[in-house]
Amino acid sequence: MGKVTIKDVARRANVSVTTVSNVLNNSGRTSPDTIRKVRQVIEEMEFSPSASARNLRDKKSHLIAVVVPFLEKGRLQDNPFYWHLVLGVEEGARNHRLHVILLGVDEEESFSFVQERHLDGLIVVGTYEQSPIFKKILSLDVPCVFMDSYLSDPNLYQIYLDDEVGGYLGTKHLISLGHRRIALLTGKILEGGVSHMRWLGYCRAMEEAGLPYDPDLIREEPVSTIGGYQAAQYITDARKQITAVFVFSDVGAMGLIKGLHELGVQVPRDVSVVGFDDLFYTDYMLPSLTTVKQDIAERGNIAVQLLLDQISEELRYDSRKVVLPVSLKVRQSTAPVSPHHDENRAD
Amino acid sequence: MGKVTIKDVARRANVSVTTVSNVLNNSGRTSPDTIRKVRQVIEEMEFSPSASARNLRDKKSHLIAVVVPFLEKGRLQDNPFYWHLVLGVEEGARNHRLHVILLGVDEEESFSFVQERHLDGLIVVGTYEQSPIFKKILSLDVPCVFMDSYLSDPNLYQIYLDDEVGGYLGTKHLISLGHRRIALLTGKILEGGVSHMRWLGYCRAMEEAGLPYDPDLIREEPVSTIGGYQAAQYITDARKQITAVFVFSDVGAMGLIKGLHELGVQVPRDVSVVGFDDLFYTDYMLPSLTTVKQDIAERGNIAVQLLLDQISEELRYDSRKVVLPVSLKVRQSTAPVSPHHDENRAD
DNA sequence: CTGAAAGCGCTTACAG
DNA sequence: CTGAAAGCGCTTACAG
């Protein structure tokens, strides 16, 4: 039956394609009668205008991409964090009649698709200043919103959490429970990156409490589930005298708790654990996880807003950087340091 | 600086646009020398051909959409299952130079975007024969692959799990551990749907073992995390004498275990629990979850394959229905029915 | 208020 | 082996 085009509509409605187009775009140059007639024909013929043709004219695709760098070769990450985020983006995009392409990229990626598809914008997750991906994206000259990237260029649009405060809150909570030997599972700490900021918050809390900083307490292992799991051995090393661990992701915290459990160490009785993200399932873990909470889906929403601001060049937010608040969600994986602890570790 | 077009390339290379196009598409009608020259200019000018223009000509967009119906109003589901699935699709699509649009739809959705964007195909998750969404999609006349939908029309391309066997394996495992009162948390059971198939497997296992079917054991609550959590009360009702529960999703199983825990019921000592999906974190739960395993990401991959088969009209698979195997992953959430159980429940 | 025409950037018969 | 030209389905000055 072939696709119905604007020409078909024009013929059937006895008007020119110009007029149909004007009706389509509510240009206001058309008489009410004509509008009615054309609309009816459009309805009858189930006409929907070709996006390709429009894009070709307007150099706009109404298409944005969420770009997520791979960790593992060729496969995106398990962490449900990304799913929540993408859901937020999808929701935000839908409200603005935009479609979202999901894209995993590695360092080989040429990003030619951005030009090819005339993408309206990019939402880039988890890159950093030294990343080759970051450099390529910059040279693209396309509207971008960077998430969790702490880029120094003030002209870039960015959205991130108040990571320093997150690091501070989690640490402070543990300190208030009497913990003094607080380990950190950070993931790779890059100058000015997310982990770095959280680490700074940790340092501030420790210093405020007059607690010494011990590099032995900091583990830069990946904060994946398996990474947390594997860290359990280190954490329980008696010489470290660790009574609490702050893991910079919920999936990592889950792995750690599992690992500790298998080593016969109970959470929170023997070791307290704090996570980061507040994934949907943390409330259902055993024990439920004390964690630093963020509204991940909301971030996705705001990312779309910020992208549109940039495209339309009218700032809805005060600045090009949007910092979202975090809060501490206290659950059952943290407890006061137990008096018998030191004895246990003594032998 | 303005986008470089094929015209610019032609001019700079001293050839016609036809020739550039021929080089671009490896038509074989061009002399090696010309090819070399044109390729160099393309490189120099960083030319990448406009997808819009191509799409307009070819009526192909190299764009597919993953369509996921909302559960909650306006927001997609938390279940990481979808994330795994979408990752699989993204991976499959990438290998075939396709891009993936992610789209949440409700029953109001007009699906006009399919025509507007000349989508090459759709991967539709979790619909069913009576669904208005299903009907709309059919009338679209676009290549589709349906997942988990059990549609009777033999002309449709479908991919699903061996759900009946999944239901059978999980139930049989519990029976082999001595359980006789095995409850089911199914989610809504629709004639011929996923839950229905799994339920059939349950019935087969029960019957084989000579165990009576008791409708009181079947709960059609949603198998979301919270759904599982809320079912705990019912499960522990002493009169039901339930010693094992088979939950048709891992997230639901997690919720249930949490709910049971809060009621003082221990898993697997008091009640055994089997899940379904084998999400990445089930190995890290406490207790780790016995569950019916499927390769979710692989499904996404195959969905893309199947879609391409349909587009190119060459069957790579024997049939239009691909059924993927499931297996039982035994972990720590199931145990032999305990002898003290009946006594406990007696009071 | 309406329409004829140019043009967006490609590809593909067609001619040479 | 190469090129001039038509056409994909729109939108937008421009003219009336």
CATH, residue B318:
3.40.50.2300
Judged by C1' against the alpha carbon of A3, the nearest nucleotide is: D9
**Per-residue pLDDT at B343:** 45
Is A54 contained in some domain? no
Kindly state the average pLDDT of the residues B317-334. 90
Note whether B286 contacts A281, CB cutoff 8 Å: no
A251 to chain B: closest CA residue: B281
Contact A184, A231 (CB under 8 A): no
Domain assignment of residue B43, given as a range: 6-49
Judged by C1' against the alpha carbon of A51, the nearest nucleotide is: D10
Distance, CA of A192 to chain centre: 17
Structure tokens that stand for B339 in this block: 């002898």
The CATH number of residue A38's host domain is: 1.10.260.40
Let me know whether B234 and B316 are in one domain. Answer: no
Chain B CB contacts of A59 under 8 Å are 3
Evaluate if residue A71 carries a pLDDT over 50.
Answer: yes
Distance B53 CA to C7 C1' (A): 13
- CA within 13 Å, CB half, B112: 13
Contact B227, B262 (CB under 8 A): no
Is A1 contained in some domain? no
**Per-residue pLDDT at A220:** 93
Highest mean pLDDT among A18-27, A132-141, A218-227, B248-257: B248-257
Let me know whether A229 and A94 are in one domain. Answer: no
Let me know whether B334 and B222 are in one domain. Answer: yes
Let me know whether A230 and A342 are in one domain. Answer: yes
Q: Does residue B112 sit at the A interface (CB-CB below 8 Å)?
A: yes
Let me know whether B152 and B22 are in one domain. Answer: no
DSSP state of B210: T
Contact A84, A279 (CB under 8 A): yes
Distance B7 CA to C5 C1' (A): 22
pLDDT higher at B82 or A312: B82
Distance B47 CA to C2 C1' (A): 40
Q: Per CA to C1' distance, which residue is closest to C3?
A: A16
Chain A CB contacts of B51 under 8 Å are 116-118
Let me know whether A242 and A144 are in one domain. Answer: no
Note whether A99 contacts B103, CB cutoff 8 Å: yes
Of the candidate ranges A99-108, A280-289, A305-314, the one whose mean pLDDT is the lowest: A305-314
Is B181 contained in some domain? yes
Q: How far is A149 from chain B (nearest CA, A)?
A: 23
Evaluate if residue B340 carries a pLDDT over 80.
Answer: no
How many structural domains comprise chain B? 3
pLDDT band at residue B74 under the 50/70/90 scheme: very low
Note whether B286 contacts A115, CB cutoff 8 Å: no
CB neighbours of residue B209 within 10 Å? 15
Kindly state the average pLDDT of the residues A315-327. 80
A258 to chain B: closest CA residue: B284
**Per-residue pLDDT at A331:** 98
Kindly state the average pLDDT of the residues A5-22. 93
Kindly state the average pLDDT of the residues B43-63. 91
The residue to which tokens 């340091």 are assigned? A337
Distance A57 CA to C7 C1' (A): 8
Task: Put the strands of the sheet holding B158-161 in their side by side order.
Answer: A321-324, A157-161, A144-147, A121-125, A63-69, A99-105, B99-105, B63-69, B121-125, B144-147, B158-161, B321-324
Q: What is the pLDDT of residues A207-248, one digit of tens each?
A: 999 999 999 999 998 888 999 999 999 999 988 899 999 999
Of the candidate ranges A150-159, A246-255, B312-321, the one whose mean pLDDT is the lowest: B312-321
| Covered bases, chain C (protein CB within 7 Å) | 1-5, 7-13
Chain B CB contacts of A101 under 8 Å are 63, 99-102
Share of chain A above pLDDT 70, in %: 93
Is A55 contained in some domain? no
**Beta strands in chain A, from DSSP E residues, in sequence order:** 63-69, 99-105, 121-125, 144-147, 157-161, 182-185, 218-219, 244-247, 272-277, 290-293, 321-324, 327-329
Is A187 contained in some domain? yes
Chain A CB contacts of B284 under 8 Å are 225, 229, 254-255, 257-258
Distance A52 CA to D4 C1' (A): 25
Share of chain A above pLDDT 90, in %: 64
Residues in B 75-94 with any Cβ partner in A closer than 8 A: 75-76, 78, 80, 82-84, 86-87, 90-91, 94
Share of chain B above pLDDT 90, in %: 64
Q: How far is B208 from chain A (nearest CA, A)?
A: 35
**Per-residue pLDDT at A255:** 96
CA distances from A49 to A8, A43, A45, A120, B213 (A): 11, 12, 12, 19, 56
Chain B CB contacts of A90 under 8 Å are 76, 102-104
The residue to which tokens 């597919």 are assigned? B64
H or E element in which residue B185 lies = strand B182-185
**Per-residue pLDDT at A1:** 45
Kindly state the average pLDDT of the residues A152-168. 93
**Residue of B69, B140, B135 lying closest to B111 (CA atoms):** B140
Distance, CA of B143 to chain centre: 18
**Residue of B109, B110, B245 lying closest to B186 (CA atoms):** B245
Selecting from A100, A115, A118 the residue whose C-beta is nearest the C-beta of B102 gives: A100
Evaluate if residue B309 carries a pLDDT over 80.
Answer: yes
Kindly state the average pLDDT of the residues B92-115. 90
CB pairs under 8 A between A and B: 145
Rg over CA atoms, chain B: 26
Rg over CA atoms, chain A: 26
**Per-residue pLDDT at B242:** 96
**Per-residue pLDDT at A339:** 67
Q: Does residue B284 sit at the A interface (CB-CB below 8 Å)?
A: yes
pLDDT higher at A212 or A104: A212
Q: What is the pLDDT of residues B195-240, one digit of tens each?
A: 999 999 999 999 999 999 999 999 998 888 999 999 999 999 988 8
- CA within 13 Å, CB half, A308: 18
Let me know whether B227 and B97 are in one domain. Answer: no
- Interface with chain B: mutation pick from A3, A99, A226, highest number of B CBs within 10 Å: A99
Question: Got the DSSP string for B254-317?
Answer: HHHHHHHHHTT--TTTT-EEEEEE--TTGGGSSSPPEEEE--HHHHHHHHHHHHHHHHHT--SS
Is A56 contained in some domain? no
Selecting from A3, A80, A84 the residue whose C-beta is nearest the C-beta of B115 gives: A3
Evaluate if residue A259 carries a pLDDT over 80.
Answer: yes
Let me know whether A211 and A283 are in one domain. Answer: yes
pLDDT band at residue B317 under the 50/70/90 scheme: low
Residues B121 and B305: their CA atoms lie apart, in Å, by 11
**Per-residue pLDDT at A343:** 45
Mean pLDDT of chain B: 89
The residue to which tokens 């004639």 are assigned? B191
**Per-residue pLDDT at A317:** 59
pLDDT higher at B176 or B33: B176
Contact B288, B317 (CB under 8 A): no
A141 to chain B: closest CA residue: B1
**Per-residue pLDDT at B72:** 58
Evaluate if residue B183 carries a pLDDT over 60.
Answer: yes
Let me know whether A94 and A189 are in one domain. Answer: no
**Per-residue pLDDT at A282:** 95
Contact A64, A101 (CB under 8 A): yes
pLDDT band at residue A74 under the 50/70/90 scheme: very low
Is B180 contained in some domain? yes
pLDDT higher at A319 or A2: A319
Q: Does residue A52 sit at the B interface (CB-CB below 8 Å)?
A: yes
Chain A CB contacts of B100 under 8 Å are 101-103
Distance, CA of B98 to chain centre: 19
Let me know whether B203 and B279 are in one domain. Answer: yes
Question: Got the DSSP string for A156-194?
Answer: SEEEEE-HHHHHHHHHHHHHHTT--SEEEE-S---TTSH
pLDDT band at residue A314 under the 50/70/90 scheme: low
Phi/psi for B273 (5° steps) reads -135, 130
- The amino acid at A289: L
Let me know whether B130 and B36 are in one domain. Answer: no
Evaluate if residue A344 carries a pLDDT over 60.
Answer: no
Bridge partners of A273, per DSSP, are A245
Selecting from A48, A82, A254 the residue whose C-beta is nearest the C-beta of B281 gives: A254
Q: What residues approach strand D to within 7 A at the CB? A: A 3-7, 17-18, 20-22, 24-25, 27, 47, 49-50, 53-54, 56-58; B 14-19, 22, 29-31, 33-34, 53, 56-57
Let me know whether B316 and B210 are in one domain. Answer: no
Note whether A117 contacts B75, CB cutoff 8 Å: no
Is B272 contained in some domain? yes
pLDDT higher at A257 or B338: A257
